[in-house]
């Protein structure tokens, strides 16, 4: 799949990684989640990203999941492996392995915690772009450091640059898109307006784990204001606490995954679970992955390490 083809795609799901009680990735549940995405018309997956808890996976798990996704689903979905790291050497090796396993593109991030300067950010990402097509992920709320526009604009000239997953808002997206730099919103609550008023290419979504068909409509239909408004409470709930804690809880409540959560994440409180039930009651369960709403008690969730 070439870069121009990827740029035609508007809806990517940052797919959840489910676990079983033995502390391992639940591949059967993972495949079921992916099949729901395919059925809803999602264009591609971000595998082992933040939502997929890539930071909680060891590299063996991480690369296995990218390889599995590429080998099983690459004919139906664009597979974007999150092989970024704050360690340049580690990112390069993971990216090489990801492409050797068949992923279509990588997701690269600027160094977090151990920050560097603008020249260091550029070189870190450039070396990974040299390995193959990549999305650049700008999420200052997680990394603690914005990728300056002048750095992104310089990176955009690289032959393997696909575009930006941008979390700094629609004004930033409009700035890039006006220069021909493809952007996908990293904020579900802004993605409808971003697509149809600020000319973004689409969204890399957390909510599409739960409501992929409705997110597909938001991307395809500029008149879907009513759906966008109806989903705002869900978006607010999903990001009221650090992602992916709410999503983990939600997918367990809909029966899409087993109620098994890897530490340091924990299930949300009963109060917040009840809030989720109220929000979901405003939607049709046929639009929700899992197609049900369970009433789980605290002791029905299982923590693993």
Q: What is the pLDDT of residue 155?
A: 98
Kindly list the distances between the CA atom of residue 240 and the CA atoms of 50, 128, 237, 254, 281, in Å, as whole numbers in the listed order.
Answer: 16, 33, 5, 19, 19
Domain that holds residue 48: 3-222
Total number of domains in the chain: 1
Question: What contacts 229, CB < 8 A, 6 or more positions away?
Answer: none
87 part of a folded domain? yes
Q: pLDDT digit string (tens) for 89-136?
A: 999 999 999 999 999 999 999 999 989 999 999 999 999 999 999 999
Alpha helix (H) residue ranges in 161-269: 170-177, 191-196, 212-220, 225-238, 245-253
Do 94 and 63 meet the contact criterion of CB atoms below 8 Å apart? yes
Query: Phi and psi of 108, rounded to 5°?
Result: -120, 145
pLDDT for 33 beyond 90: yes
**Residue 294 contacts residue 242 (beta carbons within 8 Å):** no
Q: Are 194 and 213 in contact (CB under 8 A)?
A: no
Q: Residues 165, 176, 217, 265: which is the catalytic one?
A: 165
Task: Answer yes or no: are the C-beta atoms of 122 and 158 closer than 8 Å.
Answer: no
* DSSP for residue 210: T
Please tell me the distance from the alpha carbon of residue 84 to that of residue 117, in angstroms, as a whole number: 17
| pLDDT tens by residue, 152-205 | 999 999 999 999 999 999 999 999 999 999 999 999 999 999 999 999 999 999
Residue 270 lies in a domain: no
Model confidence at 238, in pLDDT bands (50, 70, 90)? very high
> What is the residue-averaged pLDDT of the chain?
97
Among candidate residues 137, 176, 195, 217, the one labeled active-site is 137
Catalytic (active site) residue 165: yes
Q: Which pLDDT score is estimated for 9?
A: 98
Q: Does 249 fall in a domain?
A: no
115 tagged catalytic: no
CA–CA separation, 170 vs 192, rounded Å?
10
Tell me, yes or no, whether 105 lies in a domain. Answer: yes
pTM of the predicted model over 0.85? yes
Report the pLDDT value the prediction gives residue 43, as an integer from 0 to 100.
98
In a domain, 267, yes or no: no
Q: Is 239 inside a domain boundary?
A: no
What is the mean pLDDT of the segment spanning 49-64?
Answer: 96
pLDDT grade for 1, boundaries at 50, 70 and 90: confident
pLDDT (average), residues 220-227? 98
Residue 197 forms part of a structural domain = yes
CATH of the domain at 197: 3.20.20.70
User: Is residue 295 in some structural domain?
Assistant: no
């Amino acid at each position: 799949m070439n870069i121009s083809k990827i740029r035609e795609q508007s809806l990517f799901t940052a797919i959840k990684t489910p676990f079983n009680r033995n502390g391992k990735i639940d591949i059967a549940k993972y495949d079921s989640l992916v099949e729901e995405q395919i059925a809803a018309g999602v264009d591609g997956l971000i595998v082992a990203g933040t939502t997929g808890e890539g930071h909680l996976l060891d590299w063996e798990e991480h690369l296995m999941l990218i390889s599995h996704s590429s080998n099983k689903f690459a004919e139906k979905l664009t597979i974007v492996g999150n092989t970024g790291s704050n360690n340049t050497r580690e990112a390069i090796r993971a990216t090489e392995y990801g492409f050797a396993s068949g992923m279509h593109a990588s997701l690269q991030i600027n160094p977090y915690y151990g920050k560097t300067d603008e020249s260091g950010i550029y070189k870190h990402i450039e070396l990974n772009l040299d390995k193959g097509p990549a999305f650049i992920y700008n999420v200052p709320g997680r990394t603690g450091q914005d990728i300056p526009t002048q750095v992104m604009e310089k990176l955009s000239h690289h032959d393997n640059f696909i575009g930006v997953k941008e979390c700094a808002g629609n004004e930033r997206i409009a700035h890039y898109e006006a220069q021909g730099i493809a952007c996908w919103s990293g904020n579900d609550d802004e993605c409808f307006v971003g697509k149809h008023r600020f000319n973004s290419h689409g969204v890399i979504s957390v909510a599409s784990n739960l409501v992929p068909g409705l997110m597909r409509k938001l991307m395809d239909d500029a008149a879907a204001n009513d759906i966008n408004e109806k989903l705002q409470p869900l978006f607010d709930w999903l990001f009221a606490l650090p992602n992916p804690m709410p999503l983990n809880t939600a997918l367990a409540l809909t029966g899409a995954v087993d109620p098994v959560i890897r530490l340091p994440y924990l299930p949300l409180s009963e109060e917040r679970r009840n809030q989720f039930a109220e929000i979901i009651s405003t939607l049709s369960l046929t639009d929700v992955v899992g197609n049900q709403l369970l009433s789980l008690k605290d002791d029905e969730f299982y923590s693993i390490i």
